[in-house]
Structures are given as C-alpha cells and as structure tokens.
Amino acid sequence: MSKIVAIVTGIVITMVLIAVAHFTGLISLNLGGNANPSKYKNKGVLEVICDVEISRPGEKLTPPFETSRTPLPALFDFEESTGAYAGEYTISMNRKGTLKAQGDLLELYRPAMFKRHGVVIIGEHVTLDRRTGAFKQWLDLDGGKRLDLINGTCKRTDNAPF
C-alpha cells in the first residue's frame, strides 16, 4: 500500500508543479485543444522600432535596387484597428492603414490608386510577425504584381515581449 501512496503522491506533486509553471508562464500548455491559442493581448497600442533594409526601385522598377539600412518606427493601434509606420510609400499617421491581427501576424493594409514609375500602385501592405519580429512591406501593382520594398526585424519600444 505504501508504494501506491508514494506513486500517487509523486503524480500529484508533478501535476501541481506543471500547473504552477503553466500559470506563471514558464511553460505553455494547450489545455483547450485550440490549434492556435491567442497568446497576445491585442489591446491598446503596440509601438515598435525596426532595423530594416529598404530597397528603392529606379525609374523602370527593375533590379538592381538601391538599398539602405535605417531604423524605422511603427505602431499598431488595436482599439482603432489601424496602424502606421515611417517608411517608403508610407502608411503614415495622417493616412493610417487598416489593422488585421491573426495569431502571430499583424497586417496593415491601405488601398491606393496612383501611378509611380509608369506602374499603377493599387495597395500597400505591412506585416509584423510577433513571434519572430520580422517586418515586411510591399506594394500591390497592376497586373497582379508585387514589389517588395522593406525587410527587417522589430522590437517593442518598452522591451516587453510582443
């Protein structure tokens, strides 16, 4: 009987330690069976600073593109479902994009209709992968084409995790 009590006691202690680790955030258990549990607050404003490489196309939109590295601020406002950043063809503070949050990925989108370099730009996209910090920006062009302009990595301005 004492072996059974010792085994049951060991199992109970193990379960309590796992529960404490889960609730303190040391480990993550998918207890609800959801394939993609929401681990982000999606509330308030998320401010990030990104280290990016910007590719600037020339007159013909053909490579090689002029590239440069620069810091770039961005914000994602969950309460207003908008966001902005200071980059190329920017979704700026006075012309914010629409925010869509899906798990790890945040996406800003703003429709456009202007001509640049002889091509009609029909939309602008920005994504931030909160798991990896990857930041990307591209333009949708007429004819179903895509022009990638910015790639980089971001960190929160308050040094907290995403």
For 74-122, the pLDDT digits (tens) are 999 999 999 998 876 666 767 788 999 999 999 999 988 777 777 888 9
Sorted by where each begins, the domain ranges of the chain are 1-37, 45-156
Tens of pLDDT, residues 1-20:
688 888 888 898 888 888 87
CATH code reported for the domain at 45-156 = 2.40.160
Highest-confidence segment of 24-38, 103-117, 129-143: 129-143
Tokens of 55: 């590719």
Structure confidence at residue 128 (pLDDT): 96
Query: How far from chain centre, in Å, is Cα 28?
Result: 20
Q: What pLDDT band is residue 135 in, cutting at 50, 70 and 90?
A: very high
How many angstroms separate the CA atoms of 152 and 31, rounded?
34
d(CA 130, CA 153): 10
Distances (CA, A) of 83 to 1, 2, 40, 125: 64, 62, 17, 11
Task: Note if the pTM is more than 0.75.
Answer: no
Specify whether the CB–CB gap between 50 and 126 falls below 8 A: no
**For residue 108, what are its two tokens?**
């800003």
